[in-house]
Structures are given as structure tokens and as C-alpha cells.
Amino acid sequence: MGVYTDECRRLLELIGGKENIGAVSHCVTRMRFVLNDPKRADIRKIEELPSVKGTFTQAGQFQVIIGNTVSAFYNDFTDVAGIDGVSKESVKSAAKNNQNIIQRLMADLAEIFAPLIPAIIVGGLILGFRNVIGDIKMFDNGTRTLVETSQFWAGTYSFLWLIGEAIFHFLPVGIVWSITKKMGTTQMLGIVLGLTLISPQLLNAYSVASTAPADIPVWDFGFAKVEMIGYQAQVLPAILAGFTLVYLEKGLRKICPSVISMIVVPFFALIISVILAHTVLGPIGWKIGSVISNVVNAGLASAANWLFAAVFGFFYAPLVITGLHHMSNAIDLQLISDFGGTNLWPMIALSNIAQGSAVLAMIFLQRGDIKAREISIPACISCYLGVTEPAIFGVNLKYAFPFICAMAGSACAAAVSVGMGVRASAIGVGGLPGILSIIPQYIPIFALCIAIAVAVPFILTYFVGRRKLSMAASDNTSHRADNEYIGNKTDNSKCEIKAFLSGKVINIEDVPDKVFSEKILGDGVAIEPSDNILTAPADGEIINVMEGSFHACGMRLKNGVELLFHVGLDTVSMNGDGFECFVKEGDKVKAGDNLILFDPEKIIAAGHPTVTMMVVSDEGNTSNIEFFTGGIAVARETVIAVCERLENEK
């Protein structure tokens, strides 16, 4: 039996059973499901499973965040479910059945650009580095650049342009290749078509605006003339040409006899595509791209550009959720092509930073929560390096308010950035390293914008979070309408039992162990711990300690109620490693006294959940015990249960 077998059985049940799974795969940290009926998944209970760090739905896939152990978890799940996993590509294909036409279009666009992103990032870094050494005058009292003072750096500056030009000027080749690869047609034909769009025979796209119409070279066919214009760095012409080639090839293969298809199909598909690319598709794509970039540029250059920027900065993170943010790559590249720089990319980098800063605030707010830390620290780092999905889906959307606070901070930083005219000469480098893509004269202003993107979300999230998390703990002190047990109020007819750990309070029925969930030992409550010291929930006497393993103990309260505490599940097998007990049988303890110190990281490393149970094994002199679950408890403070004393004991 695998380490996660029991948990996987529970996940299978909560996800709607085997019959509800259309496909399943996994990536580095997540299980990826395509569900036949997504509504059947019980998200709340799934997220309460010990190994689950969160869930979200994107692009038709229900994704369950597991972490670094996802591979072992996935293997146990497929064994339990009795199904075979499929490739991530198959999952993506199946997921499209759950998408509308717009979502499918965005998914296709994302898949086209995804293979190009590493090259675009490299190109952005290289061009950013060239900006630093070639354009910033930092020597000889601010009169000369590094390139002007050193032959080595001058040669480096010139050499690096070879790579930068290959990535951005020849981008149409990569786009058409990516389209043919995604659509399953002949990739080499895509490369050839892309090369015809940037051939050195053609007038360079960057020279068109400065060339008189009469001087533009043409192909003269006698009955018609076609301008010999290149489409270097152009996105839409390449996309239109690429899809034309794909559908021509697929259509021709359907009607062409197989014995001659190897000759006929590539010949006619390529010839027709190249002709259409230079006569119809290229000019149309160029025009559409120019209109889009002019409209965006007009908004960014208008008197109300700060408002335009604030709106874009505020809503960019939600665009990431929908996948629509991939459209900005095409607009950015078009702006760079038309105007030599883009105002959009700096705002995108600032949005990355803002989301990371909200996560940073959550790290401070939840600094005692080991499980939260496993998600938030890597998410914060990746955000600051330009990858926002782990932060958005793993932390900020989970609590909602950090996401909104980050959006507000992003809007403030974006308004300042565009208001002060900050522009980037390249894209691909997000987060803090995005400063390398900024045109040198705007770097100091962009540094100020970074400070805003760090400070505003952090401050907002921290103070809103303190209030909300405090309210959550207070609200869950009691679910009674009269708020009888909130705070330190007492009632002589009642006996309060306070939280024995800080963390999320859950129903005993949701503990992934039948002994506890079926109340075989008695009713009770459980806590997903955010600290590591089990404390006495009330005054009483220790009646037993699990010698050797020290993972459990029992106590009797003054009203005769007997409580059993059990740290983690199956932790008896750890033989005391990671546990330290402060009490022994017969000790008198006061509410809040330390009982057991445990190491959550060792428990997790041993493959055990850290959920800790308090079971009422004897109700003593009480008529009723009421438990309060569903919120965040603070050890020694939050009331999690109340005992009603018998009439003759009041």
C-alpha cells in the first residue's frame, strides 16, 4: 500500500468517483483532472485533505496542488482509481470540451507562444544588458558608456546583437514553426514559410516608414506588382500565414491520392501560402497590428494615460486567470516594432511584483503555518522572477483579499510608470529582473515604481489580513447567534475548551482516518496546525502519555470530561523522533500549559499528515458538548468547544 493510498481513496470519492474522470495527468506540483461534471467535485473537502495545498480550475482543467511529492501521489491515485494516466497534451485536448470558443482561442494562442517564451526571455535579458553597457553613461563624470571606454565591451555589445536580432527580428519563423508543431503538420514547411517573411531580399520592416513609396522594391508580374516588404518582428502576419499553411496542408492531404501526396501537398501548400502571405495576409496582418498598436499607444500617450494605465495594471492579474494575458505579448511586440518601445511590458512586470508582495505579506501573517509556508515562499520567489501563477492560484485567490490588494498596488505602480513615460525596449523579462528590459533613461523611475509595487500591496495585505484573520479566529470562537463565548466571557453553567493548537479547525468527520472520522473513540474536533506546541485546553490532570512515541496523551478536566490528544496520523511509527513531551501521568496542568512539542517537517517528511485530533473519550459530568469548527483558531485563546454541566453540577 502506498503512502498516500488512504488519502487518494478520499480524493477519488470527493472528486466524484472514477466515472467522473475524463482524463488525469500531473505536472511538477499539480494533479490535472478533466472532469466530466466539474460540479460534482467537493472543493472544500478536497482542500482539507492533508496533502492538498489548494485547488483551482483553469483552461477546462481541475487542478489539485500537491507539491514536490505529486509524482508519488499520482501513482497511488491511479492505482486506487484503477485508471491509466495520460499525457499532459491529452489532458489539454480533453479539457477543451469544457471551454467556450473564446477560451479555446486563448488556449491556442497561449500554446503558440509557450514554446517561444524561453527564447523571448533570453532575448529580453540580452537586449536589457546591451542597454546597460551601451546606453547608460556612468563613466568619466557621466559622459561615456562602458562600451565607449572598453574595446572588450564594445565587441561584446556588437556580438550580443547577433542573438537579439535572431530572436526578435526573426520571430515570424518561430511563430509559424510553433503553429505547425501545435497543429500537427509539417514543421519544416512552417520554417520555410517563416523565412520567406524575413528574407534579406525584402525591404526590412523597420525601413518601410522611412522609405518613399516609389522606392519600395516590387515583384513585377506584368499584370500586377507586389511590394517586396519583409515582416521582421511582426506577429499577426506570421500567425495568419501559419494557419493558412496548416489548413491548406490538411485540406490537400484529404483530397490528394497518397501515392503523390509527398510531392503535391508540400508544393501547393507552400506556394499558395507564400503568395497569400505577401499579397493578402501580410498587409492585412500588418494593418490590424498597426491599428491595435496605434490605439493602445494613443491611450498610453493621452492626457488620461495614467487612468488607462491604472485600469490595465488593476485588471492584468485577472487576465492571467482567463489566459487573455497572452494577447499582450503580440501587442507588446507590435508596439516595439512600430514605436521602438512599449509601455505595456513595464506594467506587466510591476503586476508580477505586486502579486509577489501580497504573498510576502501573507508569509509574515502566517509565519507559524508550516503548510502555508510550503506554498507561499516558493510562490513569492517565482512571482518576483516573473511567474505569477503559483502565487495567484496557490495563495492570493485562496484568500481573495491579497489578490485585490495586489491589484490595487499594481494599478498605483502602473499609473506612475505610464504617467512618467517608462518604456521597455524588449519583453520576456518579468518581475524584478524586468528592470533590465527598461530603456536606460527610465530605469530610475521604474525603480521607484518597483518600490510602489512592493510597498502598497504588502502594506494593504498585511493590515487587511491582520483584521480578517483576527476576525476569522474570533468568529469561529463560537457559531452561536448570541456570541456567548466570544473573547473571555464565561458562564458558570458552561465549561470552555480552548484551542490546543493554532490553525484551521475542522470537523472530526473530515479526518482521513476511520478511527477518528467514524468516532470510534468518541466525538471531537481536529486542527490543521500552524504551530508546533500542543497545549492544555483547560485545567485538569494528565491521565496517560504514550511512552516511547510521545505523539499522544490524555487528560481529565475538573468536570470529569476525558480528552485524548493525537498528533498527526500513524505517527506512532516515528518512535518519538520529532516529539518531546513535557508532562507525565498524574501531572496537574493549567489551561495553556505546554503538553507536547512536535516537528511538523519531520512528520511530513515521514509521509504522515500533521492534523491533530482532540477526542472526548468520556463526557464526565456534562449533558452536552458543542464543537465550533470551520475557522482559524489561536492556541490558548479561541474557544473550540463548550461543555454543558449537568443540573446537579451547576
Tell me the three cell numbers of residue 593: 500549559
Give me the amino acid identity at 17.
G
Residues in a beta bridge with 229: 203
Helix axes 401-419, 344-365, angle to 10 degrees: 150
Please tell me what DSSP assigns to residue 438. Answer: B
Q: Which amino acid is at 492?
A: N
Q: Which three cell numbers stand for residue 335?
A: 508596439
Residue 589 · residue 541 · CB < 8 Å? yes
Task: Count CA atoms closer than 13 A to 83's CA, side-chain side.
Answer: 18
- Nearest-angstrom CA–CA distance, 110 and 97: 17
Contact between 47 and 55 (Cβ < 8 Å): yes
User: What radius of gyration, in Å, describes the C-alpha atoms of the chain?
Assistant: 31
Bridge partner residues of 612 (DSSP):
527, 567
Instruction: Check: CB of residue 23 under 8 Å from CB of residue 94.
Output: yes
Distances (CA, A) of 338 to 107, 277, 280, 334: 27, 20, 20, 6
**For residues 310 and 350, what is the distance between their CA atoms, to the nearest angstrom?**
12
* b (16+ CB within 10 A) / e for 75-97: bbbbebbeeebbeeeebbebbbe
Strand-pair partners of 586: none
In whole angstroms, what is the distance from residue 380 CA to residue 356 CA? 5
Show the beta-strand stretches assigned E in 346-436: none
Whole-angstrom distance, CA of residue 499 vs CA of residue 514: 23
Q: Give the residue numbers annotated as catalytic, written as ranges.
A: 27
Q: Are 563 and 617 in contact (CB under 8 A)?
A: yes
Question: Bridge-partner residues for 65, per DSSP?
Answer: 30, 54
